[in-house]
Amino acid sequence: MTQNIYQQLGLKQVINACGKMTILGVSSVAPEVMQATARAASAFVEIDRLVDRTGELVSRYTGAQDSYVTSCASAGIAIAVAAAITHGEQASVAQMPDSTGLANQIVMLRGHNVDYGAPITSAIRLGGGRVVEVGSSNLAARWQLESAVNDNTAALLFVKSHHCVQKGMLTIEDFVAVARTHGLPLIVDAAAEEDLHSWVASGADMVIYSGAKAFNAPTSGFITGKKTWIAACKAQHHGIARAMKIGKENMVGLVYALENYHQGQSTLSAEQLQPIAGAISAIRGLYADIEQDEAGRAIWRIRVRVNAQELGLDARGVEAQLRGGDIAIYARRYHLDQGVFSLDPRTVAEGEMALIVARLQEIADHATD
């Protein structure tokens, strides 16, 4: 079998069955996108004009007035927060992330205060923001959002993610209404979302995406939304965004990835995954079924339940052995404490699912040796 470039560097082969995750390099970039990236890397360009032009091109796909390409979605959060606090005013931009004397409170739901590999609060603080949580972890009311707004509020932040609490939260319509009533910008973190249109159409002022997740772009992100606020984002290039700048080649790569991206691109259905689930369920101590993405996206995964008594090994042990083998197999491990892990087929290459099933059989065969 031909080694990939990372194996040639002395690293393990990885089978990614946990999805488009930063810890595994996020996504696999199409050859034609990388060719465009290479061509961009080999030439000079006026960066400010490229920033403006790529923003115009990205906006064709989102329907927004303007967009600003960033190094990643986390950088997008920090930059959008700084834009909301400074309004792009030069002296305030230079002051960031010290927001002393400025309205700097960012109001968000407690159930949206997540860790996606780093706390979202870290990105907010990098932009000079101070987090104000609303509601309880599992329940929030509109009046709580309203009452949290005061003269020190800079923006509202709505997070759309599978990491968030999925019940008892307020809707994007609630956030839009409160933001408009108080004349505040609404920031939406839609990092892994695939819908390029609905969040802008909802009335949000700044919507943040990861380019490398849903859209299979090189490392990148973007903020898309109202022209006034995107201008305030671009102003951060002379402040905190300087430390987060994206290269010319990845700006171009993002644009080409969006050109190659098709809304509703084919994914494996629950029916197509059923034979794999059946093969896993035939292994002693393992029981597999099909689950939908936690955030309601049309993404289907194989959920594997481990009967520790029957297998002689619990879910944590099975998952650790998957990762620790000669081929490192990464599964989604958010619910190991419940005896469950999941397999995401979107990032599994042809032939690799058979290797996963074979490795699970091997683990089961040796579990009671």
Neighbours of 28 (CB within 10 A): 10
Per the omega criterion (within 30 degrees of 0), is the bond before 97 cis? yes
**Contact indicator for 269, 300 with CB cutoff of 8 Å:** yes
Phi, psi for residue 309 in degrees, rounded to 5:
-65, -45
- Indicate if 294 and 227 belong to the same structural domain: no
What residues does 20 pair with on adjacent strands?
A: none
Q: CATH no. for residue 195?
A: 3.40.640.10
CATH of the domain at 313: 3.90.1150.10
Of the listed ranges 196-210, 253-267, 293-307, the one predicted with least confidence: 253-267
Do residues 238 and 310 both lie within one domain? Answer: no
- In 3D space, the residue among 213, 191, 160 whose CA is nearest the CA of residue 73 turns out to be 191
Residue 33 belongs to a domain: no
The domain tally of the chain equals 2
Residue pointed to by tokens 């603080």: 125
Q: How far apart are CA 224 and CA 68, in angstroms?
A: 6
If asked whether residues 161 and 286 sit together in one domain, one would say no
- Predicted confidence at residue 13, as pLDDT, reads 84
Q: Which residues contact 247 (CB under 8 A, 6 or more apart)?
A: 41
pLDDT per position as a tens digit, 15-74: 888 877 766 666 778 889 999 999 999 999 999 999 999 999 999 999 999 999 999 999
Note whether 149 and 19 are same-domain residues.
Answer: no
356 in Cβ contact with 330 (< 8 Å)? no
pLDDT for 262 equals 59
Q: Are residues 318 and 207 located together in one domain of the fold?
A: no
- Encode pLDDT of 201-228 as tens digits: 999 999 999 998 889 899 999 999 999 9
Note whether 324 and 227 are same-domain residues: no
Residue 220 structure tokens = 């990148």
Domain match, 254 and 293 both = no
Among candidate residues 26, 24, 44, 51, the one with its CA nearest the CA of residue 255: 51
**Region of poorest pLDDT, from 23-32, 220-229, 280-289, 302-311:** 23-32
Is residue 224 within 8 A of residue 230, CB to CB? The reply is: yes
Q: How many CB atoms lie within 10 A of CB 192?
A: 23
